[in-house]
Amino acid sequence: MRTTVGCFACLAAAMGSVAFATPPTQTEPTPSYYLRGYYKIDNQRPTWQVSDSSPWSQVKTNAPWVNPLLVKWGYVPFTHDSKHYYCMIEEGARTGSHVVETTFMCGEPDTVLWLLQNNWRPSVPMIGGGPPLESSLRPRPTSGN
């Protein structure tokens, strides 16, 4: 009898803690990024664009304008200057380098959807179109002496 009462007491305590548990909240803020620049996705090939000082704010995937098909294929929804964008984010070293970088390739929703429907996935060009070198990284001109 005591074991039965003890089992029911433990079961009631466990169920009580579950009954009063609150579900996890979905109020976690999404990250914002301040990009120096990004590759703009268009119908030709991504081209380097200098970004302004406005933040790129990641949007939750349940926002009304977000297309679940694009999210499924790896595009991340963002807003920038009150406009909607989808970005493909790649992390890794560029060809011929060991320096790991995060590369953002962003485009307008209609353009990104059209490219996806036509089996085209953006890739960073190997030469040209990249960010300009910082002045400290540019080779110094040699004098004719």
pLDDT by residue (tens digit) across 57-86?
A: 999 999 999 999 999 999 999 999 999 999
Question: Any idea which of 6-15, 81-90, 126-135 has the lowest mean pLDDT?
Answer: 6-15
Domains in the chain: how many in total?
Answer: 1
- In the block, tokens 């703009």 appear at 40
Q: Is residue 145 part of a domain?
A: no
* pLDDT of amino acid 84: 96
* pLDDT of amino acid 14: 47
| Helix, strand, or coil (residue 12) | helix
Neighbours of 84 (CB within 10 A): 15
* pLDDT of amino acid 60: 94
Mean pLDDT of 3-7: 51
Q: Is residue 66 part of a domain?
A: yes
Q: Is the pLDDT of residue 91 over 50?
A: yes
Confidence band, pLDDT 50/70/90 cuts, at residue 18 = very low
Q: Is residue 59 part of a domain?
A: yes
Q: Is the pLDDT of residue 141 over 90?
A: no
- In the block, tokens 């976690």 appear at 28
Q: Is residue 28 part of a domain?
A: no
Q: Is residue 119 part of a domain?
A: yes
Choose between 115 and 7: higher pLDDT.
115
Q: Is residue 142 part of a domain?
A: no
Q: Is the pLDDT of residue 19 over 50?
A: no
Residue ranges making up the domain that contains 58: 47-90+107-124
This prediction's pTM: 0.66
Q: Is residue 112 part of a domain?
A: yes
Confidence band, pLDDT 50/70/90 cuts, at residue 44 = confident
**Closest by CA position to 86, among listed 62, 64, 59, 63:** 59
